[in-house]
Structure 1
Amino acid sequence: MIRRAGARIATGAGLLLLLSLLVYIGVDLLPGDAATARLGPDATPERVAGLRHRLGLDRPVTTRYAEWLMGLLRGDLGMSTTGRPVSELLSDRIGNSALLSTLTLLLLVPLSLGVGLVAATRRGRGLSTGALLLVSVPEFAIAGALALLFAVTLRWLPSVSLIPPGESPLGHPEALVLPILSLLAVGLSYAVRAIRAATVTAFGSPQVEFLRLNGIKPGAVLRSAVIPAVLPVAVQVWLVTGVSLVGGGVLVEKVFGYPGIGESLVTSVQTGDLAVVQALVLVLGAAMLTALALADLAVVLLTPRLRTRAATA
């Protein structure tokens, strides 16, 4: 297990390094840069060239990337083109996005398990079909539909998450409802499909068939054989979905004006603010790799056969 964890860490570090290089070069190749975004389309070429020189944008991209990487090794995320440290710029926004994903995940776990188990039965075919249809709808479309229904038509909730700077979103729960519902709909549709498939497989296993033939009540079969067989898959789905909610929440946050990383990521890509883009890519990439590693570990711990093999290896 220790060797496997060490190999995972080394592989993850290599993937993050490669991802950061590709993103840095990719954003640099986009039309425009921080100088043209700051000065506007009416700026003279001389002013643009002068600002590019002051920001260091006229140097080779590989040189700038190497300097950024050396700063990262010292714990310095660099400076935004706005003149503020990236760590200061993103500290509150990353926390707000993490809060949104955590609250969504707390609702997703029991709902997806319950709905997935019911969807595996004959009575739950409609739920399975609904999840299949919902999983094909983009996040921003769901967010727009919910805003149109609950904010514009019914006027029950605000269409924009107006949270004063420096305040916690928990102090404005009404601003969290629509973003959470949007993310929950997307995450639930995928999780229900995965848990339903695992449940169908568990119901068809020899162990469950043996318990049924011996007259064990359906509730006892569900608790003792079906749910333990489904949990490894469910935990994997929950971990990966929890991280993907942060990435998928970019568009949802943009729709509702929620003060998370969504607006920062979109704006920094548009303006060529590479330091901010790189920081967000590293955070999201590291979170996803950690979730995948924990998902693999959860499978080993929750599956007796694999747990025994790992202990004797």
Structure 2
Amino acid sequence: MILRRAGWGVLSVVAVAVIVYAATAVLPGDAAQAILGKQATPERLALLRHQLGLDKSAWAGFADWFTGLLTGDFGTSLQTQQPVGALLAPRLWNSAALVLLAAVVSSVIGVVLGAVTAARRDGLLDHVLSIVSLVASALPEYIVGVFVVLFLAVKVHALPAISILDPGGHIWDDPGKIVLPVLTLTIVVVPYILRMCRGSVVEALDSDYAEVARLKGVSERRLLFRHALPNALAPTIQVIGLSLIYLAGGIVLVETVFQYPGIGLALVSAVSTRDVPVIQALVVLLSTFYVVLNILTDVAVLLVTPRRRLPR
């Protein structure tokens, strides 16, 4: 199954590479004109297009670009004239730290709250968290980010409102600037994990084996954490995987709100300046992340569900 999924994943990434190259090739505007300005002469524009490889045919340009991808060469930025890999490396680490922290925090909080509300279903805590999770899941990331900034940065003055770093800097050099972006993504993601975990645990607690365990005198705490929660992990892990995929797209808005120096902000900047090599590299990297994460999610579900990996 893993080999089959990996094969389809490689084909998916190749298809994305073809689509993104074709899409960026037909974008309106001229990158050379954007770099040199409106006062540039036709001779200078033609020279710059030749230097940047913009005068090649579509097939020749794609062949050169895709060959570079296979060797780890993402090309050269049209705006900074730096290698795309060197330009994106620190931003990639910053975004990875943001997604990883948000994933760990939201997963722990969502699973714990989901298990607790399932054990106390129809109680006050269950009703309150259900309403709060519905409200939080209905709000877009940038709205949550604005509220977080207004409360914790403007009113309380506890944390910095924006996460600007020196060019090429890493977020762990100033860890206080990652707190609000992580909190924003956590607020957005936790409701989905909480609700799925609650529903799965409730179903497990109502099952026949849970009733037999109660008749044997097993305590509710042991029944919850030793029997019900492990059996509810498979659908919860699937939701966590989908949430991580959502985080990879959500960082574009969150990083823009907080001016966080990650790949989301780099993608917005590249689109506004028509820096085609950077756009192409980021889309391929994000699609590869999606494919790898989907495969890892399936593997994790198999590991926690023995009956799915045993022959029938």
TM-score by length of 2: 0.90
**What is the CA deviation profile of residues 135-171 of structure 1, one whole-angstrom value per residue up to 9, with x for unaligned ones?**
1211111111111222222222211113223443123
Q: Work out the CA distance in 2 between the residues paired with 1:212 and 1:166.
A: 58
CA contact (8 A) 1:16 1:282 kept: yes
Q: Work out the CA distance in 2 between the residues paired with 1:118 and 1:54.
A: 62
AA matched with 1:248: G
What is residue 100 of structure 1 aligned with on the other side?
98
Determine if the alignment matches structure 1 residue 29 to structure 2 residue 26: yes
Q: Work out the CA distance in 2 between the residues paired with 1:222 and 1:172.
A: 40
Q: Unaligned 5+ residue runs, structure 2? A: none
CA contact (8 A) 1:115 1:192 kept: yes
Q: Shift in Å at residue 239 of structure 1? A: 3.3
Q: Work out the CA distance in 2 between the residues paired with 1:27 and 1:50.
A: 21
What is residue 247 of structure 2 aligned with on the other side?
245
Greater mean deviation of Cα atoms: 165-174 or 129-138: 165-174
Q: Shift in Å at residue 184 of structure 1? A: 0.8
What is residue 122 of structure 2 aligned with on the other side?
122
What is residue 110 of structure 2 aligned with on the other side?
112
Q: Shift in Å at residue 267 of structure 1? A: 1.5
Partner secondary structure for residue 268 of structure 2? helix
**What is the CA deviation profile of residues 206-236 of structure 1, one whole-angstrom value per residue up to 9, with x for unaligned ones?**
2223223444321121123211111122223
Q: Shift in Å at residue 45 of structure 1? A: 5.8
Alignment of 1:82-101 (within 5 A): 82-101=80-99
1:78 to 57, 75, 94: 75
Alignment of 1:1-313 (within 5 A): 4-41=1-38, 43=40, 47-81=44-78, 82-120=80-118, 121-123=121-123, 124-309=126-311
AA matched with 1:264: A
Q: Work out the CA distance in 2 between the residues paired with 1:183 and 1:208.
A: 35
Q: Shift in Å at residue 279 of structure 1? A: 1.6
Q: Unaligned 5+ residue runs, structure 1? A: none
Partner secondary structure for residue 310 of structure 2? helix
**What is the CA deviation profile of residues 232-279 of structure 1, one whole-angstrom value per residue up to 9, with x for unaligned ones?**
222233333234323211111111111111121112122332221222
Greater mean deviation of Cα atoms: 111-120 or 249-258: 111-120
Q: Work out the CA distance in 2 between the residues paired with 1:288 and 1:149.
A: 33
Q: Work out the CA distance in 1 between the residues paired with 2:51 and 2:288.
A: 32
Q: Shift in Å at residue 294 of structure 1? A: 1.3
Q: Work out the CA distance in 1 between the residues paired with 2:151 and 2:41.
A: 47
Q: Work out the CA distance in 2 between the residues paired with 1:113 and 1:273.
A: 41
Q: Work out the CA distance in 2 between the residues paired with 1:5 and 1:13.
A: 12
Structure 1 residues 223 and 84, CA gap change in structure 2 (3 angstroms): same
CA contact (8 A) 1:243 1:284 kept: no
Q: Work out the CA distance in 2 between the residues paired with 1:76 and 1:271.
A: 21
Q: Shift in Å at residue 48 of structure 1? A: 4.2
CA contact (8 A) 1:240 1:288 kept: no
Q: Work out the CA distance in 2 between the residues paired with 1:189 and 1:47.
A: 55
Aligned length: 307
Partner secondary structure for residue 250 of structure 1? helix
**What is the CA deviation profile of residues 67-118 of structure 1, one whole-angstrom value per residue up to 9, with x for unaligned ones?**
1011222232211113111110111110010011112222122211111123
Partner secondary structure for residue 237 of structure 1? helix
CA contact (8 A) 2:93 2:170 kept: no
CA contact (8 A) 2:141 2:185 kept: yes
